[in-house]
Amino acid sequence: MPGGSPEAYSQLEGMLVQIAAQTPSGPCVTWVGHGSAGHYVKMVHNGIEYAIMQLISEIYSVLKFGSLSNVEIAEIFEEWNEGELKSFLIEITAVVLRKKDEHSDHSLVDLILDKAKQKGTGMWTSQSAMDLNVPIPLIDTAVTMRFLSARKEERVQASSLYNIEHDSPSYSREKLIQLCKQSMLFGMLLSYGQGLDLLNQASANYKYEINISEVIRIWKGGCIIRSGLLDELQEVYTRNMSLKNILLSDNYVDVFTQTRKSVIELINYAMHHGVPVPCISSALNYFDAYRSAELSSNLIQAQRDYFGAHTYERKDMPGTFHSNWEEK
């Protein structure tokens, strides 16, 4: 994902093309944009990576709660990896879940301390999105969950304080797996969508001139977030370079409409059992908020005007208004 001087890139291009991963869509390298565009694109790649990893770990926790063994979950991921969810992260998760500990009979994953660390790129993605006012809640949630997971000692203490009874819907194993698959698809598409939204905004703001379709193309091979979903996504952005959000593309209306019901059922199951699925929930709330022609933010505007005279706009007439809210 090199950026910077196009002249420098053209001098290095021959070598970079040869060492890049090769796919049917070409070598996975291109000049991504001016200035710091290369670092920025790689940073957003990692933000998307955090979201997809968190989604997979939530699916794993739901299936584990549903009494599936690590090998059974690995089999499910292997099957998914043959279809539309085919991706590096799904593929390696199956391998991880099958790995035995060399010192015992346990799966190695069961012996790994549940404190996720980080080098910071996901956090930088969230910080930059805040600066640019771009909503990327899946990535934000994934970063937050790494911080929360790191508070192991507090979590252990809290777990002894809250002995909550769980009543619950119960699904057949087949149904649970189906709900997980649909939720994974829903969340993964939105993870890409939110990352690309941020790239679009950053490109305009920092004058990077990023070609989003080319970025998607070079993410198809040799990348942690490579997946089969990127084929259609690249086509969509190639046809419409100025697409503002994946949710505004006709291509995805059916898939989001159809998978939403499964996402709700999965969240319902997880919530009732006390299994946290923050990233999947965040995906659903983002979707429902984004597709809402009316939100409750009119009330926030009224509150801001009440306590700070920050003014508001009206639906029925142009201009900027301030009210004396206590006047009868």
**Residue closer to ligand 3PG (CB basis): 196 or 267:** 196
Which CA distances in Å does 167 have to 61, 126, 265, 271, 275? 18, 36, 15, 10, 12
Q: Residues interacting with ligand 3PG, by CB under 6 A? A: 46, 49, 118-119, 121-122, 224
Phi, psi of 312, deg, nearest 5: -150, 160
Q: How far is the CB of 204 from ligand 3PG (least distance, A)?
A: 26
**Residue closer to ligand 3PG (CB basis): 121 or 301:** 121
Q: How far is the CB of 50 from ligand 3PG (least distance, A)?
A: 7
DSSP assignment letter at 99: P
**Residue closer to ligand 3PG (CB basis): 2 or 66:** 2
Q: How far is the CB of 144 from ligand 3PG (least distance, A)?
A: 14
Q: How far is the CB of 225 from ligand 3PG (least distance, A)?
A: 9
Pull the structure tokens for residue 316. 């029925």
**Residue closer to ligand 3PG (CB basis): 179 or 198:** 198
Pull the structure tokens for residue 77. 């991921």
Return d(Cα 99, Cα 70) in angstroms, integer. 9
Q: Where are the alpha helices (DSSP H) in the chain?
A: 6-19, 37-65, 70-80, 88-98, 121-131, 137-150, 152-161, 173-206, 212-218, 229-239, 250-273, 278-290, 297-308
Set 42, 64, 86, 175: catalytic member: 42
Q: How far is the CB of 28 from ligand 3PG (least distance, A)?
A: 15
Maximum CA pair distance of the chain? Answer: 76
The number of beta carbons lying within 10 Å of the beta carbon of residue 214 is: 20
Set 49, 58, 214, 265: catalytic member: 49
**Residue closer to ligand 3PG (CB basis): 45 or 217:** 45
Q: How far is the CB of 265 from ligand 3PG (least distance, A)?
A: 30
Sign of CA dihedral 273, 275, 281, 283: negative
Helix axes 278-290, 173-206, angle to 10 degrees: 60
The number of beta carbons lying within 10 Å of the beta carbon of residue 70 is: 21
**Residue closer to ligand 3PG (CB basis): 36 or 168:** 36
Is 49 catalytic? The answer is: yes
The number of beta carbons lying within 10 Å of the beta carbon of residue 324 is: 9
- Residue 74 near residue 100 (C-beta atoms within 8 A): no
Catalytic residues: 42, 49
